[in-house]
Each structure stands twice: as C-alpha cells, then as structure tokens.
Structure 1
Amino acid sequence: MQTTLVLAMTADGKISDTTKSPPKFSSERDSAHLEAQIARSDLILVGSGTLGDGGSVVLVQKPELIHARIERGQPSQPPQLIASRSGKIDAELPFFSQPIDRWLLTTTEGAKDWQNRDSFSKVLICETADGRDIDWQAVKSKLTQLNIEHLCFLGGSELAASLFAANFIDELWLTVCPTIYGGSDAPSPVSGAGFTPETAPKLRLLSVDRVEQELFLHYQVHN
C-alpha cells in the first residue's frame, strides 16, 4: 500500500492563521491538483480535527475524473476514513450528508458512540496495547486486507506527526503558496512532539513545478 500526503502551506510554513480559520491562500490550480490526487486514490484519510474545522470533505467534481475512476473499477467517490482515537465527532456535520462512503478509524472506546448507528459503513478498531491510541502498523495491515492500494492523507498536523513517526507516509505533495501568515500559534503541517535531527524523516525531491506564483513539490519519504 502506498500512502500519499497532500498539503498546501504559506511561504513561511503555515497551514492556517492564529485563529485556526480554514485556509484561503491556495489557488484554483492547487484545488485542481488536490482533486486529481483524491481522484486517483482508493481511500482518503482525514483527521477528525481537520474534519471538524471544515465540516465536510473534498469531493471529486470533474466529470472526466469521475469517469476515469469508474473505468478503473473504482466507485465515483473514494471512501473517506476519519481518524479519531476518542470517536468524538459531531454527528451534525455536513460531512454526514455528503454522497460518500464513510469509514471510521478509532479505538475500542472511541467506537462505542457509533455502535448501532449507520453513520459509518465500516468502523476499524486498530489500537495500541493500552487502548489509548491508534496502532498504525495494524492500520496498514487492515487496509491491505481490504485491498487498499493507494491511500491519500489530507491532514491534520497532529495526525501527520503520528504518521511520520510510524513511517506511514511514502510520498509528499507540497504546494508552497505566496503568502506569509506568521504567528507563533499558527499551525504548521506537522506538529506533535517533534523530531530530533537523528529521527527526523528525510525527503528526496522528485520534481518541482512552478505555476505562476506557486511551487508544487513532490517528495519521496525515506523511512
């Protein structure tokens, strides 16, 4: 299984401002790039915090991308896997009315709120031995059993830190946008406890594409 992280950030490395408002710094070209990455994926992974901030997920809209998915034997929209160790997700979010297949990744405790409900078609319980967190190696095994070949991860920053620490990310598509947000409290793409120089994930630059004022960078992650 291949895992791709797709994100955009300001030139100073922020994904939102200090108020944690939804980002507005990327272009239509970046939106099209994101849609294309989603369209080629078997499953989309989103953190519950990111879902809560936006309320909904990005859908494949272009008819040619939907047609290509159907031609490949995929559903018109990839399933959306929401990761939440606590399972605390607002059931009133617009996400639950979107025309998609919804999956939940959580712990035994987190699954309790969703028992006997049809909000998610699949509830995947992959937890560490103490039941407090998600076991990402177990996730990889479970998704491989479900024939997921390409997983696309769209955020957020705490989840990204966990995935990098677990050597779960294979490649990174990063759009650098011509805006400066600043702010010591403004979130960056990867948060968490951080890495030391010895443990920091290393990247190999595969390509650089400049489109007007944005840079589209493609990296391979060295695990």
Structure 2
Amino acid sequence: MHVVVNAATSADGKLSSRRREQIAISGEADFERVDRLRAYSDAVVVGVGTVLADDPHLTVKDESLCDERLERGEPKQPARVVVDSKGRTPTDAAVLDDAATTYVCLSEAAPVGSRMDLVDHAELVTAGNDRVDLLRAFAALEEQGLERIMVEGGGELIFSLFEAGLVDELRLFVGPKVIGGRDAPTLADGEGFVEEFPLLHLEDLERLDDGALLRWTVED
C-alpha cells in the first residue's frame, strides 16, 4: 500500500479558520492537480470531521480522467473512505451517494443504531475499541484491493496516520493567504509529537498559481 497525504494550507500552516469553515486556499491549477491525483488513486480517505464540516463528494470531476480509469480496467470513480470511530457520518452525506463505493471505518464503540443506519449506504470496516485502529483498518482496505491511497484530511486524521507510520508521501500546496488563530486547525493536529518526529525528504518544489507545491517522501 502507498499512502499519499494531500492538503492545502495557508502560508501560516492553517487548513481553515478557527470557525472550521472551508476557505478557498488554492486555485484552478491546484484543483486540476488534485483531480488528477484522485483519478490515479484506488481510494480517497477523509476523517468524519471533514465530512461534517464540508460534506465533500470526493469524486473525480473531469470526465476524461474517469474515461481513462475505465480504459485501465478500473471503476469509474475511486472508492471513498471515511474514518469515523463513533459512527457520526450522516446517512445523507454526499460521500454516501451511489457515485462510488464507500467504506466507513468504525471502532467497536460505534452505536448499534449508527451501524444499522450506515450499513445500507456503505461497506463497514470495524477496527479498534474506542478509536479506529488505523493499521488494522488500512490492512482491511488493502485486502479489498485498495493499494494507492490518497488522504485529504483533516488534521486529526493526518496526525494519526503519521503517528501510525502509515504515510509514505506528503503533497502540500501552500497558498498565498494568512489565516491565523491559535484554535484554527493545522495540517497535523492531535496530541503532537514530542520526540521521534517523522522526517521528510523534499522530492520536488514547484510554483503553482501564487503558491508553492511541495512533495515530500517520509524517511524510514
């Protein structure tokens, strides 16, 4: 399995404002890049917080890219994955429509009622007691043939993936905007590292729109 974290942050490293409202950080060139990255992924992964805040569809928009997937013998759309320990994903969320297969990763703590609501809309993966065990959940996804994984946020999930040692690559668009706020979400939230920090190797740096696109690989 190869896991790529893809994100866009402001110049000061924020994913959105302290109100957790979606903010346009990147422009058309980056939107096209993200669409291509989705098109070459087996699955697109987000945390439930992103679903609740933004209600993303997580599909490839460019029909020509969809056609290329079909020509490669792949489904028209990559699978979608929601990491949702307590089963909070609304059944009317855009990510649960019939555009693509959706997996919802739950913990044992997810209420039975939530499971019953979600089972008609998604494939359920249970891993972990109070929180989703990402190593077990991603192993289960790999067993379903999902090997090229794109992670789109949010900060809590991204931190947890780094903590679990699951990230192979980080692609980050840094946009020309300052958001500020000590309570605004950053690229990697959660508890944070105090030692044994994940180390990155810069593979590429490109100017894109009025920002910069950086691509790092994670050192072993």
TM range (shorter): over 0.9
Q: Percent identity?
A: 28
TM-score normalised per structure 1: 0.92
Question: Which piece of structure 1 moves more, 90-99 or 59-68?
Answer: 90-99
Question: What is the distance in 2 between the residues matched to 1:5 and 1:109?
Answer: 27
Instruction: Extract structure 1 runs of 4+ deviating beyond 6 A.
Output: none
| Structure 2 unpaired stretches of 5+ | none
Structure 1 vs Structure 2 CA RMSD: 1.5
- Per-residue deviation, 1:67: 1.3
Pair 1:134 & 2:135 matched: no
- Aligned match of 1:79: 79
Question: What is the distance in 1 between the residues matched to 2:80 and 2:174?
Answer: 25
TM-score normalised per structure 2: 0.93
Count matched residues.
218
Question: What is the distance in 1 between the residues matched to 2:57 and 2:216?
Answer: 24
| Structure 1 unpaired stretches of 5+ | none
- Per-residue deviation, 1:138: 1.2
Q: Describe the superposition over 1:90-130 as per-residue Cα deviations: whole angstroms up to 9, x where unpaired.
A: 2233333352211110113326212374111x111111xxx
Question: What is the distance in 2 between the residues matched to 1:115 and 1:58?
Answer: 23
Could you say what secondary structure the match of 2:109 adopts? helix
The residue correspondences of 1:210-221 to structure 2 (distance < 5 A) are 210-221=207-218
The residue correspondences of 1:71-220 to structure 2 (distance < 5 A) are 71-97=71-97, 99-110=99-110, 112=112, 113-115=114-116, 117-120=119-122, 122-127=123-128, 131-196=129-194, 198-220=195-217
Question: What is the distance in 2 between the residues matched to 1:81 and 1:64?
Answer: 23
